[in-house]
Structure 1
Amino acid sequence: MIDNTTFPDPTYKETVLAPLFEGVKTHYAAHMAAINRAHLVMLVDTGILSAADGHSIASALDAIDDETDIASLTYTGEHEDYFFFVEAELRKRLGDLGGALHTARSRNDMDHTLFKMALRVRGEGMLTQITTLTDALIAKARAESGTLIVAYTHGQPAQPTTFGHYIAAMIEVLNRDAVRLSAAIDNLGHCPMGAAAITTSGFPIDRTQMADLLGFESPLVNSYGCIASVDYVTGLYSAIKLVFLHLGRVVQDLAFWSSFEVGQLYVPNALVQISSIMPQKRNPVPIEHMRHLASVTCGRCDAIVNTMHNTPFTDMNDSEGEVQQAGYAAFESGGRVLDLLTAFLPACSINAANVRRNTDAASITITELADTLVRDEGLTFRQAHEVAAHVARSLDGKPLSDGFNTFKDAFHNATNRAPNMDDTAFRTATSAETFVARRDRIGGPAPAALDAALTDYASHLTALQAQSNARTQRISKAAITRAAAFSQLLET
């Protein structure tokens, strides 16, 4: 049977090839131009192509870049993809010499290099957003280092701490997440170019030069792994997911704290929406947007990682154009969360009256009363705990600071003696300010401990920013070197 059909099938064109072509236009055209120029420089420098041929190809590439309005291109099916479009343009100008640029390379190594180049830009951008948020949080934690809040466990009031101490815990996690993301970006720093289809090339290529010209740290060594390994994808999106999984938990706290019943967090009017029918409502809607965008980002990251599940360890479309382009949505939704949270949390404040109300109603300083009885009255911790528990149960809604008489009776019943503590000492021991001040160990909320932690976090942040800057500068310097080398070819 004779097959008279021609490539591409119309449905395949519309469902696969045209969308991929659009994606390359949007995400990869500039990176492909960089690869073409760097590869040409390497071919000439290694003697694989003559300087004269290099000059001709460089001139044609330059003309194609100048004359092509990439944004206006539409997929016609005349060429399989954007790569073949560029090669066809070269051959229009140069004849058979136009095909020489593809010597010693494949779309396999090109594709994974393109993806890494696109991901490293987005990864550094997200890391910058994270460090910007962290910097704002450090400033906010310092400003709120003495601002009392109620800390909750299992959804119930637990102990007093400060808003600064809470934010510091958030910073610690964010710094660890940033380290994971930075490490994932480091893993993008090894260049697949030179792997060709699978096994490198019989030509005397210089893989290290290609890596340098494209701003990579070094070649990715194993050529099979260059086209088969997808850990640069799964590692990056796993690191991104953790950022938003963890931030989503904080955002949920913000929703709880801003509820009418708790009323601990005050959201300013600029970040509150009103009801269309209920005039009394103050809806902190940005919290909901951060929560659902964080969840959407986690889901998008999972989609990319899960797409790699049970795929063959080889070059395959499952890790390439479609999935790569889909993954960029995670940077978009995640970036919105980071920008909004950077604006939102520093703008919020703590409602001190409601904190005091909830502190009194829930007797959350009772732990320090028990601790004081151990230190000052010589009780064992369990004895002290039982006395304190009896006091808390007997208050009947009264503030703990008013419970001295109840305490005296409970203490006497437990020890058969009167306490040394008087009413003033009792009020001191049960105040939230005392509770915080006495927790001055490493990582505690007391001023000196918190200040030391924040200083350490700031140093950690500076180191992360330095790593990111070094990577970005390497890429920028490579672009300058590449442009100069390509210009030499044009002038030859």
Structure 2
Amino acid sequence: MNQTTRLWGGRFRKPPDPRLMKLSSAAGEHARLVPQDVAGGKAHAAELARAGLLTAQELDTILAALDAIVRDTAEGRVAPGPQDEDVHTFIERVLTERIGSTGAKLRAGRSRNDQAANNLKLYLRAKSRSLAAMLAELLTAIADQAETHAASVCPGFTHLQSAQPVTFGHWLMAHGQVLMRDASRLADWEKRSGQSPLGAAALAGSAIALNPGLSAKALGYDEPFENSVDAVGARDHVAEFLFVAAMLTTNLSRLAEEVTLWASRQFAWVTLDDAFATGSSIMPQKKNPDIAEISRGRASRLTGDLVAMLGALKGLPLSYNRDLAEDKRAAFDAVDVLEEVLPAFGGLIASMTADVETMRAQAGTGFALATEVADHLARKGVPFAEAHEITGALVRYCEEMGRELETLDGVDLRAVDPRLDAGVLDHLTLDAAVAARSGHGGTAPERVREQIARFRGKLAALEAWSRETAR
């Protein structure tokens, strides 16, 4: 590496050792940030023109050259090489090769510290919208399946034991609700990432770029930084993004686990579309839920990314330290994982087929209607503690007799407790049990359809937000 392609070195008597550069350099890995670095460069060039360091002609020359670098990088005509320490070095090298000393003027009044903070923040702000669009497609698939099965009865579980019947649509919407909260976290994160770090320079602010508010507006931020030290040293916005990503994949992992169970022969609730499943190299009969399993595994990676970032920040003194370079490695991994997982999972959910009869047949097993007996007694004025004991005795009677609750008659009921009457039998059907849960947020089909309607309203707002350009 020679002096003209390095952004530092004037006070050094020796060139950097190759072992140092191997550890320090990351231009190729960070090449995806070329558009963001160029955007920051253009905003800074305008600031230099306002400060009188660039003529109007020089400004136009720099802006045109920067735009060409973005195009040429995207089309593969130029790329970072081993002589480039980072993306900033790469762009300055190409810029000065193309327009000479005019390009070298762009470095005045800024630092790689505020450039690095700005690049990743711009990148993640843009990605928050595109990831929200992918998540919206998955949420649409969940809502569509839930609407189809708003009245399809299936077992509901606690402790993975059959508990009470619910509708499959209601169960799906439980996953939809938590994933919608993840979508809202993305939007909330973007609001808190709205301060531009550009103009903070190394740490003290710039003696030349004195109007960072104009640069902030040009780059789509809400406002400029309030404190220059904080602007270059803060990475809580990266840690928060990683938390949102880790929480999203963790919640998606829970759905993945259930899809894996539903697709098993033991459950047989759903059949996966052939296009969204894989087979075995030795067992020809297999259809494996690989999308669900891979997604479940990737969740652990994103948890690791979050922990790595928090570990890098813990105890780190202000302002900038090279430890902060770990932000890009973790953030890129989180984005890459989500960009792979979300579309694949959306296709998996949209294309799967539910076996309504199998789910219904399993819904009443395990004395899942026992709560209906206790509720019936409570409505008749029996204290619920007693109703609970009576119902437990009734279940024990059925187990001893090898019968199900719904097969009992008035004689059986009175043999257990005289307060049990034949009227309870009207409640011992799956449809009656589901319909009885008709309060807001309950599993009654009409309530499920209302829930889906409200959910689609939030989904429309999410889709609209994802299509907007970050302010």
Give me the identity figure in percent.
27
Indicate which of 240, 246, 252 corresponds to 1:247.
252
Residue aligned with 1:23, SS: coil
Alignment of 1:70-219 (within 5 A): 72-73=78-79, 75-77=81-83, 80-91=85-96, 97-203=102-208, 205-219=210-224
* 1:144-202 Cα distance to aligned partner (Å, 9 max, x none): 10011101111211000011111111121111111112111222322111111112123
For structure 1, which segment, 54-63 or 261-270, has the greater mean C-alpha deviation from structure 2 after superposition? Answer: 54-63
Alignment of 1:24-103 (within 5 A): 24=30, 26-55=31-60, 57-58=62-63, 61=66, 72-73=78-79, 75-77=81-83, 80-91=85-96, 97-103=102-108
Task: Report the residue type matching 2:329 in the other structure.
Answer: Q
Aligned to 2:341: 337
Aligned to 1:390: 393
* 1:372-416 Cα distance to aligned partner (Å, 9 max, x none): 1222x432222222222122122234332102243231122xx4x
Residue aligned with 1:395, SS: helix
RMSD: 2.8
Asked if the contact 1:42/1:206 (under 8 Å) is kept, the reply is: yes
**Offset of residue 90 of structure 1:** 4.9
**Offset of residue 67 of structure 1:** 7.3
Task: Report the residue type matching 1:16 in the other structure.
Answer: S
Give yes or no for the alignment of 1:408 onto 2:414. Answer: yes
Aligned to 2:460: 462
How far apart are the structure 1 equivalents of 2:100 and 2:291? 59
Alignment of 1:319-338 (within 5 A): 319-320=324-325, 322-338=326-342
Alignment of 1:219-258 (within 5 A): 219-258=224-263
Asked if the contact 1:360/1:399 (under 8 Å) is kept, the reply is: no
Asked if the contact 1:370/1:385 (under 8 Å) is kept, the reply is: yes
Asked if the contact 1:112/1:192 (under 8 Å) is kept, the reply is: yes
TM-score with structure 1 setting the length? 0.84
Asked if the contact 1:138/1:458 (under 8 Å) is kept, the reply is: yes
How far apart are the structure 2 equivalents of 1:130 and 1:23? 26
Aligned to 1:451: 449
Indicate which of 19, 23, 38 corresponds to 1:15.
23
Cα separation, partners in 2 of 1:468 and 1:352, compared to 1, 3 Å: closer
Q: How many residues in Structure 1 have an aligned counterpart in Structure 2?
A: 457
Cα separation, partners in 2 of 1:36 and 1:70, compared to 1, 3 Å: farther
For structure 1, which segment, 42-51 or 154-163, has the greater mean C-alpha deviation from structure 2 after superposition? Answer: 42-51
Aligned to 1:442: 440
Aligned to 1:479: none
How far apart are the structure 1 equivalents of 2:101 and 2:363? 82
* 1:209-251 Cα distance to aligned partner (Å, 9 max, x none): 1112122222122111110111111111111111111121222
Asked if the contact 1:373/1:384 (under 8 Å) is kept, the reply is: yes
How far apart are the structure 2 equivalents of 1:233 and 1:293? 19
TM-score with structure 2 setting the length? 0.87
Give yes or no for the alignment of 1:380 onto 2:383. Answer: yes
Aligned to 1:292: 297
Residue aligned with 2:432, SS: helix
Give yes or no for the alignment of 1:428 onto 2:426. Answer: yes
Task: Report the residue type matching 1:370 in the other structure.
Answer: A
Listed as ranges, the gaps of 5+ residues in structure 2 are: 1-10
Listed as ranges, the gaps of 5+ residues in structure 1 are: 475-492
